């Protein structure tokens, strides 16, 4: 479980991390460093090869996240975002967007164009939008794209969108589909990509198990961890290669 990492870091006066080696490649070490910097803590790198300490002058990863919410979830989403900002120093760079079914091709095209990580704050309406966004024909996305890319570029857009999305259950009016029957559950995991995220540990359930009207703030900390890890490893849909000119 990762929900105790954030309060643990915030309780520290400073963060010291090992520099180089496996530590440099570790997603968890990079998350802890990133969040300490975001929280305004003193961050110090220790080089075990020479025994030297140095102040880390780095900056946290930008929170370039597209926040998507259902049509009537501004209040609940607003409470979550206010808590993340005020209690966890986790402030996004833009306000959430309400999404309608008819806007899906354009929405997907814009996500591809911007290359942003997407946080889906799911309710009964938005989970349908999110599911359909992974199923629409690539040519429909290409037609909605405002650039000049050819349609074949979009053939694998759904894999990119899934890999660069974090799904969080915000409202109690939706539950991830599951079954006690092992064959049916295996079918769900293979055919329902959003449910698969939840049942394999990458979806975040923000609805309190004690009171469904409340937000589970431990899971909100978990959201911070998973979203930061996703931002650190996300890649744009298109490779940034300059075209050769004659």
Distance of CA 232 to the CA centre of its chain: 10
| CA distances (Å), origin 207, targets 121, 151, 191 | 11, 39, 24
User: Are residues 60 and 38 in contact, defined by beta-carbon separation less than 8 angstroms?
Assistant: yes
Give the residue-averaged pLDDT of 138-153: 71
Ordered by start, the domain boundaries in the chain are 5-55, 65-233
| End-to-end Cα spacing for the chain | 55
Query: In CATH, what is the architecture of 65-233?
Result: 3-Layer(aba) Sandwich (3.40)
Q: What is the pLDDT of residue 72?
A: 67
Nearest residue to 171 (alpha-carbon basis) of 76, 83, 68, 80? 76
**Cα separation, 39 vs 217, whole angstroms:** 17
195-215 per-position pLDDT tens digit? 999 998 889 999 998 898 899
246, pLDDT greater than 60: no
DSSP letter string over 126-168?
Answer: HHHHHHHHTTS-HHHHHHH-SS---GGGGTTHHHHHHHTEEEE
pLDDT score recorded for residue 140: 84
Give the pLDDT confidence of 219-229 residue by residue, as tens digits: 999 999 999 99
pLDDT tens sequence across 152-205: 677 888 999 999 999 999 999 999 988 999 999 999 899 999 999 999 888 999
Q: Which of 87-101, 178-192, 226-240 has the lowest mean pLDDT?
A: 226-240
Residue 221 and residue 225: Cα distance in Å, rounded?
A: 7
């Amino acid at each position: 479980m990762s929900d105790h990492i954030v309060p643990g870091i915030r309780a520290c006066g400073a963060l010291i991390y090992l520099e180089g080696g496996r530590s440099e490649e570790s997603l968890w070490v990079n998350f802890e460093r990133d969040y300490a910097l975001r929280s305004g803590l003193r961050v110090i790198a220790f080089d075990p090869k020479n025994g030297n300490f140095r102040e880390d002058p780095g900056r946290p990863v930008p929170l370039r996240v597209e926040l998507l919410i259902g049509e009537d979830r501004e209040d609940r989403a607003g409470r979550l975002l206010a808590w993340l900002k005020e209690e966890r120093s986790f402030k996004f760079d833009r306000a959430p967007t309400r999404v309608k079914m008819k806007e899906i091709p354009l929405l997907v095209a814009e996500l591809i164009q911007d290359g942003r990580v997407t946080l889906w704050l799911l309710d009964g309406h938005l989970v349908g939008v999110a599911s359909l966004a992974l199923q629409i024909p690539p040519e429909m996305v290409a037609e909605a794209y405002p650039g000049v890319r050819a349609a074949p570029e979009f053939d694998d857009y759904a894999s990119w969108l899934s890999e660069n999305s974090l799904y969080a259950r915000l409202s109690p009016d939706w539950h991830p589909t599951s079954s006690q029957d092992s064959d049916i559950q295996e079918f769900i995991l293979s055919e329902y990509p959003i449910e698969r995220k939840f049942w394999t540990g990458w979806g975040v359930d923000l609805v309190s198990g004690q009171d469904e009207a409340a937000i589970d703030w431990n899971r909100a900390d978990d959201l911070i961890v998973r979203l930061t890890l996703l931002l650190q490893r996300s890649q744009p849909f298109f490779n940034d290669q300059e075209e050769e000119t004659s």
